[in-house]
Amino acid sequence: MSSTKRIAILVVVLALSNLGMRAVSHGRAVPLRQRLDTLPFEMGNWNGRNLPDLPEAEKKVLKADDYLTRVYLAPGKQIGLFVAYYTSQQSGDALHSPKNCLPGSGWQPVSSEVIRIPNGAVPGSYFIANHYLVQKDEMQQDVIYWYQANQRIFASEYWGKIYLVEDALTKNRTDGAIIRLTSFRSGKNDSQNFETMRQFAQQLSAALPQVLPN
């Protein structure tokens, strides 16, 4: 796709997003089915523990209605989980893309791709997620993230804007969640780390319907 077409699509998406935000300036909030911290601590052979609350400054930037920071441990393995949920996305209170936040934390992208993950909640199906390999100094970590909103699971921020407008205008709802997994590699050729995370993401996807709204 040419750069001119990409810019044109971006302009259209941003215009639609602004229209949708204005349409729901007083839209209804959609609550979680349960608090995010009720997600199971045990998933397969993984055991989780909650991490400390985010600093107040970060929470003010995040502006989420609920969030979860947790680490899951298995023998010789560790995966960080972050989930943020918005009951209604309005101006300034919207999903934040990790690809924008990570460079600000000093992590630079090495590679990126869109991947398929088996959907644990719907056997025989899969969903699309983003996979980034990032690096800071000599450390590398895998990052997998995706979005969920109104029974949709998607990876694209652009499609997310389109869905946002559609749901705002037809259902008066703009709720949404971002799910992010992170895990350090033991070395630059540690591709198994990504496969381990993908398997964990499948297990996590089976549990998320317990907390996220339909």
Read off the pLDDT of residues 154-178 as tens digits, 9 standing for 90 and up: 999 989 888 988 898 889 999 999 9
How many distinct helices (H) and strands (E) make up the chain?
Answer: 5, 9
Nearest to 205 by CA among 119, 78, 81, 77: 119
User: Predicted confidence band at 89 (pLDDT cuts at 50, 70, 90)?
Assistant: confident
Predicted pLDDT of residue 92: 56
Whether the pLDDT of residue 23 is over 60: the answer is: no
* pTM exceeding the 0.85 threshold for the entire prediction: yes
Structure tokens at 192: 């198994």
- Asked if residue 142 lies in contact with residue 131, where contact means CB atoms within 8 angstroms, the answer is yes
- Asked if residue 132 lies in contact with residue 139, where contact means CB atoms within 8 angstroms, the answer is no
Most confident among 21-30, 50-59, 186-195 (mean pLDDT): 50-59
